[in-house]
Structure 1
Amino acid sequence: MKHFYSIIITALFSCIAYSQVTELYISKYGEGSSNHKFLEIYNGTNADIDLSNYSVSSCSNGCNTTGEFDYPDNIIFAAGTIIQSGDVYVITHGSADPSIHSDQTFTYLSNGDDFMALTLAGATASDYTIIDALGDMGPDPGNGWEVAGISNGTQNHTLTRKSTVCGPNPTPLASFGTNSEDSEWIVGESNSGWDTVGSYDGCVSGPILTITSPSNNQEFDSGTTSVIVSVSVANFNIGELNSGADGHIHWTINNQEQPMKYDTLDETINVADGESYSIYMELVDDSHQAISPAVNQTVSFEVNFPCDLYIDTINSSCDSNTAENSDTYSTSLSFTGGGTTSYVIDTGGVGTIEGDDPSVTPEGVIIISGVPENTDYVVSFTGDPSNSSCNFIRSISSPNCNPSIALPYNDPFDYPDGSLTSYPNWNNFSGNEGDLLVTNGQAIVQHGTPSEDAGVTFDPVEGVIYYAFDFSVNDPGNPISGSDFEYFALFKDDGFNYRARIDIVSANDAASDFTVGISTKNGTADVIWPGDLDFETTYRATVKYDQAQNTTQLWINADGETDPSIYGNDEDDPGTTITQFGLRQSDSSANEGILIDNLTITQTFNETLNNNEFSDLDYSFILFPNPSVSGIISIKSNKLGEIKSQVFDLLGKELINTKIKNQKLDLSDLSSGIYIIRLTQGNLIWSKKFIKQ
Structure 2
Amino acid sequence: MKKIYSLLIALLPFLGIAQGSINFDDPAKWTQGALAFTSYSNHSYVDGTFSLACTDVIRNGIAAQDGFAGGFGTYSLRLQNDATTDVTMTISSGGIGNFSFKTRRWDGSPAVDFAVEYSIDGGTIWIPSSTINAAVTPDSDWKTINGVVNSSNANVKVRVKSNSATNERLMIDDFTWTAASLSPSITINSPSNGTIYSPLTTSANIGLTVSNFNVANGTGDGHIHYTINSGSVVMKYDTAPIALTSLTPGNYTVYVELVDNSHVAIVPAVNATVTFTIAAYTVVPNLAALRADVIANGAGKYYQVSSNPVITYARTTRNQKYIQDTSAGILIDDLPGTISTAMVAGDAISGLKGQTGLFSGVLQFLPLENATVASSGNIVTPQVVTALEITNNVENYESELVQINNATFTTADGVITFAATTNYNLNDGTDIIFRTMFAESNYIGQVVPTGAGNRAVLVAEFNGVPQVVSRNNAEVTLSTTSFSQIEGLKLYPNPTKNNLYIETTLNGDINVSIINMLGKEVLNSKVTNNTVNVANLANGIYIVKVTEDGKTSTKKLIIN
User: So what's the TM-score if we normalise by structure 2?
Assistant: 0.39
